[in-house]
Amino acid sequence: MDTNESEPIVGGIDNDGLEPEPGVSSVAPRKKWRKRSIVILSAVGAVIVASAATGIAATAQIVTADSRTSSSGTTVTPQQPGPGQFGNSRASTAVTPSATAATNAQAVGVVTIDTVLKYQGAAAAGTGMILTSSGEILTNNHVIAGATSISVTVVSTGAVYVADVVGTDASSDIAVLQLENASGLSTVTTDTTTQTAVTNDVTAVGNAGGTGTLVAASGQITAVGQAITASGDGTSGSEALSGLIETNANVVAGDSGGPLYDAGGEVIGIDTAASSGSSTVAGYAIPIGTALGIVNQIGAGAETSTITIGYPGFLGVEIGGTVVGTTVGATVGGVIAATPAAAAGLVAGDTITAVNGSAVASASQLSQLLRNYKPGDSVTIGWTDAVGGIHSASMVLIQGPAD
């Protein structure tokens, strides 16, 4: 029997702050940029992350613009833009970035986000922007990934709301939330028409350090059309973000999901990532037009290969890998208490072989099959135990953590 480990946890413990690794562009770069360590930005203290391979909890540090830290230094090389992207000329004049408390005007329409990651024994914090008076919120996906509960504070009023996930696009690092029982909220003002340009003055605002206090960091746009490749710590997968605005504003952990303002006080981007371990300050923001395009797709309510609507269904198993041999399937690395899998009697060492009659040939296929189901759906899981016994049980999926 041959087991290939390292598949992510199936059923929703798939959250560990994203951090970049060397970027690869589909377009060969015409210039070489020096490498720098980049982190995606959310705020967390020490985090407990369940290992997908073994089911054993391990500590992880966090340093992202949602405030998680990378346990190993990885680098990113900004790439030249592809066809249709902005050029990436850089500012020739040096500007020393500064950070101060955000003004009342900069706080309008901005929220701080606090999440509980129950299955990781952790909490995280980040930033978001109010898009509608009824409480639609834009933030980064990595700010709320793995969250089992989300609390949002409107900075300008101090009002606190429970938030639900409307939808996410992990591949673009965008998430949309809806505040419960919200009305009459002030929104951010966005600018999707003015073309961003190098040397334009900007200000990044966010929940720096996850303290709940907004900080504003001024600077300039230093490049546009930038691309990075980011991967979750401890996973084999990676995600590419392209078309980013680069700035020398001092974007820090906790700023993820916050606004990047232009000189007129309008939002032109969503703070997402920043350099680390270098004397050169470089922050990255997703252009607001790009983000709002994804918001509209999520609002349409149709799932795609990248967009998830609402919360995923949750089985409650940690997958250890793919089994190839006498029994083919996905090995159970661990089972979470008080979940459908635990109630059905699945235990670590079992091999899941089928979902609703569809054969499971690998851990990744199991993940894909389960993505077709929502909380409240009934699925029949087939599995083989460690001594070869064959089992089958119907399970009603519960609400899982945000994707």
Convert the pLDDT of each residue in 274-320 to its tens digit.
876 566 778 999 999 999 999 999 999 989 989 999 999 999 998 88
Q: Using the predicted structure, report yes or no on whether residue 165 has a pLDDT greater than 90.
A: yes
The verdict on whether 173 is a catalytic residue reads: yes
Distance from C-alpha of 260 to C-alpha of 262, rounded to nearest angstrom = 7
The verdict on whether 378 is a catalytic residue reads: no
The verdict on whether 256 is a catalytic residue reads: yes
φ/ψ of residue 352, rounded to 5: -75, 125
Distance from C-alpha of 101 to C-alpha of 103, rounded to nearest angstrom = 6
Catalytic residue among 256, 275, 276, 367: 256
Catalytic residue among 16, 42, 70, 142: 142
Q: Is 365 left (phi over 0), alpha (psi -120 to 50) or beta?
A: alpha
The region of weakest confidence among 54-58, 133-137, 209-213, 331-335 is: 54-58
Predicted model pTM: 0.77
Q: How many CB atoms lie within 10 A of CB 172?
A: 22
Distance from C-alpha of 382 to C-alpha of 109, rounded to nearest angstrom = 49
Distance from C-alpha of 20 to C-alpha of 301, rounded to nearest angstrom = 30
Q: Is 337 left (phi over 0), alpha (psi -120 to 50) or beta?
A: beta
Contact 333, 341 (CB under 8 A): no
The pLDDT of residue 99? 79
Catalytic residue among 14, 169, 173, 350: 173
Q: Using the predicted structure, report yes or no on whether residue 253 has a pLDDT greater than 70.
A: yes
SS3 of residue 24 by DSSP: coil
Distance from C-alpha of 198 to C-alpha of 5, rounded to nearest angstrom = 45
How many CA atoms, within 13 angstroms, populate the side-chain half-sphere of residue 146?
A: 29
The token duo for 209 is: 């350090």
Contact 60, 45 (CB under 8 A): no
| pLDDT tens digit sequence for 104-117 | 999 999 999 999 99
